[in-house]
Every structure is written in C-alpha cells, then in structure tokens.
Amino acid sequence: MATQVVMPKLSPTMEEGQLARWLKKEGDKVKMGEPLAEVDTDKATMEMQALSNGVLRKILIKEGETAPLGQPIAIIGEPDEDISELLKSAGEAKPAKAESSPEQLPESEAAPAVEAKPEAQSGTAAAPAVDGDGRQPQTTSAATGRVLISPIAARMAAEAGIDFKSIQGSGPGGRIVKKDIESAMSRKSGHKSDQPGAKPSLRPLPRPSAEAAVYGPSAYRDEPASEMRRTIARRLVTSLGPVPHFFLTSEIDMERAAEMRASINEIYPNLKLSINDVIIKVAAVALIQHPQVNASFQDKVIRYYEHADIGVAVATENGLITPVIRAAELKSLIDIASEVRELADRARARKLKPEEYTGATFSISNLGMFGIEEFTAIINPPEGAILAVGAMQPKPVVHNGDIAARQTMRVTMSCDHRVIDGATGAKFLQTFKQIMENPLYLFVA
C-alpha cells in the first residue's frame, strides 16, 4: 500500500527542514530503515530513513526546498499502484507559497542556475531595470564565456571568497553546484591564511573601468535564510527581550596559564592545547563550586545541575552552534582538548547528533582569536549564563610593585537575573579568576 513520506522531526528544536539531498531517485527501490534523503535541520544535516518498503514513486519537494514538520515530501508504493489520491492530498497539505518576484533567487540546488554572461561590448549601455525601492536587481557577469551556477552555490562562493569562474562545475551542463564549492572550500582551508589565528589577507579593491557608470543604489539579491539562521533569530528574540541580562567583567593575569599551556604542548606536541580548553576546564570547576550559577530558570522552579555541561560556541558557514562537553569538571585538559576538536570539526561538517549540541548548563563564546578585546554575549535559554572571552595579549600592569608587561585577558559574563544575583555572579568570576591565575590548582584539587 502506498504511503506518504512526511518531513520528520530530526532535532528537538526543529520546526521545519530543508531537503539537502535525495539519496534515492524516483523509481528506485527502498527498504524500511534505509537512508532516503539528507535533511538540513536548524543545527545539523541528518539522514532521513524510509519507514516502509517499496519504490520511490514520487518526489514532492526538490533539493534545497523547505517543508514544515509533517508535510508530505515523497510517496513510496508499489510500481504499478495508483497514487493519484495521495498526490491530491499531498497537494492540499502543502502550504501555499507566495509568488516570487523576478529578482528573488531561490536557494535550491535544483532551481534554475544563475547565468553569468559576457560583459557588454564597449558602446552605449542600457540602463538596468530597477525595482520599487530604486535598487537594481542582482546580476552576475563574467569576463568571458558563460557560467552556470546554482543560487546556493553562488551564495557559498561569495561567503567563502571563492572565484567561482575558476571552478569546473559537475552539475548538468557543467553547472556549478553546492558540492563543487564545498570541494573548493576544502582545498582553500589548507591555506595558511585560513588557519585559526592567522592574519586575514586583504583583497585588492575592484577597479572600475574608464566607462563605468553609477546608476543608483547598490544591486542586491534576496536569499532564503538557512534553517540554522532562522532558529538563531527565533532564539535570540526569546532571549535578550524576555531574559533580564546583566553583565560582569573581569581582567585576568594569564601569565601562568600561558606558561602551563606551552609546557603541556611541549610534552604533547600533537595535542595542540588551546587557552580555550583551559578556560572550559576552569569554568567547569568554578561552576561546581558555585552551583547557583550552574542553573536555569524553569518558570516555576530553578533547576540546579549536578555536572557542568559546557557549550562551546563554534562558528560555521550557516551560523553559530554550541557542541557540549559533558561533565567537563571530571575530564582532563587532554580529554577536553581532544573532544573540542572532534566536536568542532563535526559541527562545521553539520554531522553533530542532537544530543551533542543541546542541554548545556553554561556556555563559552571566545572571539579572542579575532583580536576582540572585550564583548558581551547573549544567553542561550534556558541556560543561566554565558561567558564572553576576549583576546589574551601583553599589557603593562602593576606586578609585585613594579610595572611589567604581562599577558592579560578580559572576560564578561552575561547573567540571567532571574537565577543569578550580582553578588553570586561576582563570586563565581572571582573563583574563575583565581584558578586561571593559578592553574596548577587543577592538578592538586
């Protein structure tokens, strides 16, 4: 008997999913439990499994399209079975889409490719069309030839700073698709300037030709927000407004922590222990000593956690995700360093499981590698606090009565005032500072 395949709930916070890739095509046989498609959720790319045996008779949404939970996205049945009623009900169940203006570029890999045409020959140029607000619709051009590229690939190339005109497309007719840009990004990631801590290289500004003319406001393109970006937007709206934030900042002498890190990396050269790994461990130890901070507001109760599950903010091409180091207070620096690397790599590849990025009791966001000295972070509900970490850098300070250059670092903790009072947060930061300035405490406590 034919059945509809509906968009499944693949993560705890998922409200809709974007079909990243069909693993089967129409006419293929499928078995129950066999991977059917890859779906981009709000946090990761997950495999969707078939729930029945048969043949994939009809695909109802294309790669790159989005569907809410429960919407039919395919039909599985016997080869000669009548599926007209299921097709009709699927059409009725599918939400109506607003008509797209000619300027809008859908994010689907299956959408018509953006065509990059040769530049116009010298002579009188026709003024480009403008839309209602006076801005020019986005156009794409290449110096010579004709380049086909899908909208999602064009976006990825622009964000990664990749010249797509140099890429050989693997899609139909030589079209450049998502996987081509991903391959180019992988090759580029090995370059020194892309490594953490490396100084970014500045690209030369484009030089207009002698015949260049300015027609008005900048051209633009509209692209659907990714599932991750939409979820981030929804969660931030429910955080900064409803959650009463207050902020505490402390400056820390990092000389001993830096020396300890250098010594450990000398002993274990393949470990590549970072200062952030040390911060995770110290924060976890301090949380256990101050359980009022390792807590969350739950409407009618305040929930206190037995272990420090630390969320570590990782930037990905689609937004921020926070893999969780469970019971970090019980783990060694070596274990934490290894686990952070492994989770961060899978986060960027969108391969995390839901339980690996949900349920943190406290989060850390570190922008020090970008030279940011100090900032404030927004709490990720229902957590009670988040620690924003700035750059570690030498600074003249008074040390033992003399002025000396010492490595210092500024941290700012955002607190949910429904859970944490000012004095409570200050005592936590005081303990955090004491351990960071005397990190050997981690080995004798």
Model pLDDT for residues 120-133, shown as the tens digit of each residue: 333 333 333 333 33
Per-residue pLDDT band at 210 (split at 50, 70, 90): low
Per-residue pLDDT band at 147 (split at 50, 70, 90): low
Cα–Cα distances in angstroms (integers) from residue 156 to residues 123, 160, 226, 255, 322, in the given order = 34, 6, 12, 40, 22
Per-residue pLDDT band at 167 (split at 50, 70, 90): confident
Q: Kindly report the pTM of this predicted structure.
A: 0.58
CATH architecture of 3-93: Beta Barrel (2.40)
Catalytic annotation, residues: 417
Phi, psi of 70 (to 5 degrees): 90, -10
**Residues 214-237: tens digit of each pLDDT:** 555 556 566 666 676 677 677 666
107-116+138-197+217-223 topology per CATH: Dihydrolipoamide Transferase (4.10.320)
pLDDT at res. 445: 64
Per-residue pLDDT band at 179 (split at 50, 70, 90): confident
Mean pLDDT of the chain: 79
Distance of alpha carbon 243 from alpha carbon 299, whole angstroms: 12
Q: CATH 2.40.50.100 occupies which residues in the chain?
A: 3-93
Q: CATH 3.30.559.10 occupies which residues in the chain?
A: 227-444
Strand pairing class (54-59; 66-68): unpaired
Distance of alpha carbon 316 from alpha carbon 227, whole angstroms: 13
Q: CATH 4.10.320.10 occupies which residues in the chain?
A: 107-116+138-197+217-223
**Residues 105-114: tens digit of each pLDDT:** 333 333 434 4
* Listed ranges 87-96, 149-158, 325-334, 391-400; the one with the highest mean pLDDT: 325-334
Helix axes 275-289, 255-267, angle to 10 degrees: 120
Share of the chain above pLDDT 70, in %: 73
Q: What is the CATH number of domain 227-444?
A: 3.30.559.10
Least confident of 210-224, 258-272, 291-305, 312-326: 210-224
Identify the helix (H) or strand (E) that includes residue 288: helix 275-289
